[in-house]
Amino acid sequence: MSISLLNKVVLITGASSGIGRASAVEFAKQGAKLILVARRKNRLDGLAKELKSQYETESLTIQLDVSDKDAVESQLNNLPVEWKDVDILVNNAGLALTTDKIQEGNIDNWDIMIDTNIKGLLYVTRQLITGMVNRNSGHIINIGSIAGQEAYPCGNVYAATKHAVRAINQSLRMDLLGSAIRISEIAPGAVETEFSEVRWNDKDKADAFYSDFSPLVAEDIADAVIYCATRPLHVDVAQITLYPTAQASATQLHRGKSLIQNIANPPTLARKE
Ligand code: NDP
Ligand code: 8X3
């Protein structure tokens, strides 16, 4: 049993790469209209063009740094009238920067993670939630992490931001109780996207990280996003945690080719640009 997403207006932050991009593709397949948000506008425009030709998708692309409070307010307050009523918000934009001990941490990196993963998510949510409340309809899907459920060595500030996402998710559900608005959190383990390359600013190190186990791919998370969005309106999927089969916690990865060879149909790797 599922509901239709045809002509629903879906705003996805961080749609230029990885999980956000894959989610945009899946929503496009369902006939949704997409507001694609990220800093790299050329990528968003390329995606919009691709989705138009493949699925006849109508898209609006917005270059926006979600950590820029004033820009979020002005851009999202001034959406063209046909895009104003956002039905589904996917708060996906986020990043980790380095894996350092706190005592060796770079404070500028902490600020960027906090400003993007926590404050950016809140700024975007605040702009769109009033309309959802007024219409008594809407769905906010937040991309958290297993790092929101456990801390791990050198994951300190990133894990703190994802714990915050989890807390915000729980609070949203409580604050909106009595409305028809749904709140979901998806918490992935290791997903092969540009995430690790951004984290370490080192593509070889990122490639090596994923090289000897079968990580999740962005489409696995997009699949969960669509699952949440297509449940009947009386069902609110509160939280989904997704691990690669080869992972049991943030620090426990079964590395080695044997498990991969035992999987009959290994997933295709997420597209990278
Ligand atoms: P990617 O690096 O592939 O994608 C991150 C996206 O976030 C990009 O589209 C990037 O766009 C966008 N972004 C980053 N900073 C900003 C900003 N200030 N303003 C607007 N957009 C921004 O990584 P993933 O797809 O893996 O990450 C998506 C989410 O999933 C993140 O929240 C991440 O924490 C979470 N996650 C990832 C996991 C993984 O293992 N990959 C596991 C668990 C959670 P641009 O640079 O163009 O602005
Ligand atoms: C990304 C997963 O384990 O690197 O959120 O924190 S982890």
3-state SS of 171-240?
HHHHHCECECCEEEEEEECCEECCHHHHHHCCHHHHHHHHCCCCCEEHHHHHHHHHHHHCCCCCCCCCEE
Residue 208 lies in a domain: yes
Which two tokens mark 213?
């186990």
Residue 272 lies in a domain: no
**Per-residue pLDDT, 198:** 98
- 261 burial type by CB count under 10 A (0-12 exposed, 13-18 middle, 19+ buried): exposed
Nearest CA to ligand 2 atom 4: 190
CATH number of the domain where residue 235 is located: 3.40.50.720
Asked if 36 contacts 44 with a C-beta cutoff of 8 angstroms, the reply is yes
Determine if ligand 2 sits within 6 Å of the CB of residue 19: no
Of the pLDDT bands very low, low, confident and very high (cuts 50, 70, 90), residue 219 is: very high
Asked if 246 contacts 194 with a C-beta cutoff of 8 angstroms, the reply is no
Residue 270 lies in a domain: no
CA-to-CA distance for 71 and 265, rounded, in angstroms?
Answer: 44
Q: What separation in Å is there between the alpha carbon of 175 and the centre of ligand 1?
A: 27
Asked if 242 contacts 224 with a C-beta cutoff of 8 angstroms, the reply is yes
Residue 4 lies in a domain: no
Q: Hunting for tokens 């705003």 — which residue is that?
A: 11
Q: How many domains does the chain have?
A: 1
| pLDDT, tens digit (0-9, with 9 covering 90-100), for 139-179 | 999 999 999 999 999 999 999 999 999 999 999 999 999 99
Residue 194 lies in a domain: yes
According to DSSP, the residues that pair with 177 across neighbouring strands are 179
Asked if 162 contacts 147 with a C-beta cutoff of 8 angstroms, the reply is yes
Q: For a substitution probing ligand 2, which of 158, 198, 213, 220 has the most ligand atoms within 8 Å of its CB?
A: 158
- In the chain, the percentage of residues whose pLDDT exceeds 90 is 93
Kindly tell me if the per-residue pLDDT of 94 is higher than 80: yes
| pLDDT, tens digit (0-9, with 9 covering 90-100), for 222-243 | 999 999 999 999 999 999 999 9
- Residue positions annotated with a catalytic role: 158, 162
> Region 90-95: what's the mean pLDDT?
98
Nearest CA to ligand 2 atom 6: 147
Residue 197 lies in a domain: yes
CA-to-CA distance for 50 and 44, rounded, in angstroms?
Answer: 10
Domain extent at residue 109: 9-260
Determine if ligand 2 sits within 6 Å of the CB of residue 157: no
Kindly tell me if the per-residue pLDDT of 55 is higher than 90: yes
Pairing type for strands 252-253 and 247-249 reads antiparallel
Q: Which amino acid is at 13?
A: T
Of the pLDDT bands very low, low, confident and very high (cuts 50, 70, 90), residue 190 is: very high
**Of all atoms in ligand 1, which is nearest to the CA of residue 91?**
32
Residue 207 lies in a domain: yes
Residue 43 lies in a domain: yes
Asked if 255 contacts 213 with a C-beta cutoff of 8 angstroms, the reply is yes
Query: What is the maximal distance between C-alpha atoms in the chain?
Result: 54
**Per-residue pLDDT, 269:** 38
Asked if 116 contacts 127 with a C-beta cutoff of 8 angstroms, the reply is no
Which two tokens mark 145?
């992490």
Determine if ligand 1 sits within 6 Å of the CB of residue 143: yes
CA-to-CA distance for 23 and 126, rounded, in angstroms?
Answer: 22
Q: What separation in Å is there between the alpha carbon of 95 and the centre of ligand 2?
A: 10
- Whether the full predicted model's pTM is greater than 0.85, yes or no, is yes
Which two tokens mark 184?
């979901």
> Region 5-24: what's the mean pLDDT?
99
